[in-house]
Amino acid sequence: MPTGPCRYGDRVQPLEVVGVRMEMPSNNPIILLKVVGGDRYLPIWVGAVEATAIAYAQQGVVPPRPLTHDLFTEVLAALSAPVTEVHITSVKNGVYYAELHLANGLVISARPSDAIALALRAQAPILGAPDLLAEAGVEIPEEEMESGEDEVEKFREFLDQISPEDFGEPSS
């Protein structure tokens, strides 16, 4: 996955989507990103529609009619400006910020939930700013994870130990 400077001048780190889950007892959807090759995770609270769009993209579900994120991906491709990268850039007062980087050179501000849903559909890398990962990321060393568990179970255990207050107000 390519890395490069985002407009904030930081070196970005590649992230992978671990999964989407409902945080209990509030039933707020949350997405968990993980630094590729690292042990730092980034939880982001998202809206229900975006959580569904992200889960569908991860599972390869193709709805009979395009969802908004599917449509937007098709429109960008038709305009020769597909999403080439998504940067999760910062969190301020519990609100996360992201950027869509398009093939035509444009950079567009976006909610991380929408950006992630588009990145998955476009098969574009998701990159995180180091300052954001240091501020809002949670380190879970691999040796603390049980060797036989799959990623979903690790995510569930992680979510059982955190609350939205650990990271600020829920944001999409």
Residue 90 falls inside a structural domain: yes
Q: What SS3 class is residue 85? A: strand
pLDDT in 10s for each residue of the chain, 172 residues: 344 445 555 588 999 999 998 887 788 899 999 999 998 999 999 988 899 999 999 999 988 898 899 999 999 999 999 999 999 999 999 899 999 999 999 999 999 999 999 999 999 999 999 999 999 999 887 665 544 455 556 666 666 666 655 555 554 5
Residue 43 falls inside a structural domain: yes
**Cα–Cα separations (whole angstroms), residue 136 to 66, 73, 126, 146:** 33, 28, 16, 24
Residue 1 falls inside a structural domain: no
Instruction: Match 């996955």 to its residue by tokens.
Output: 1
Residue 128 falls inside a structural domain: yes
Please count the structural domains in the chain: 1
Residue 172 falls inside a structural domain: no
Phi and psi angles of residue 100, each rounded to the nearest 5 degrees, phi first: -95, 125
**Residue 106: CATH number of its domain:** 3.10.690.10
Domain that holds residue 51: 13-166
pLDDT value at residue 112: 97
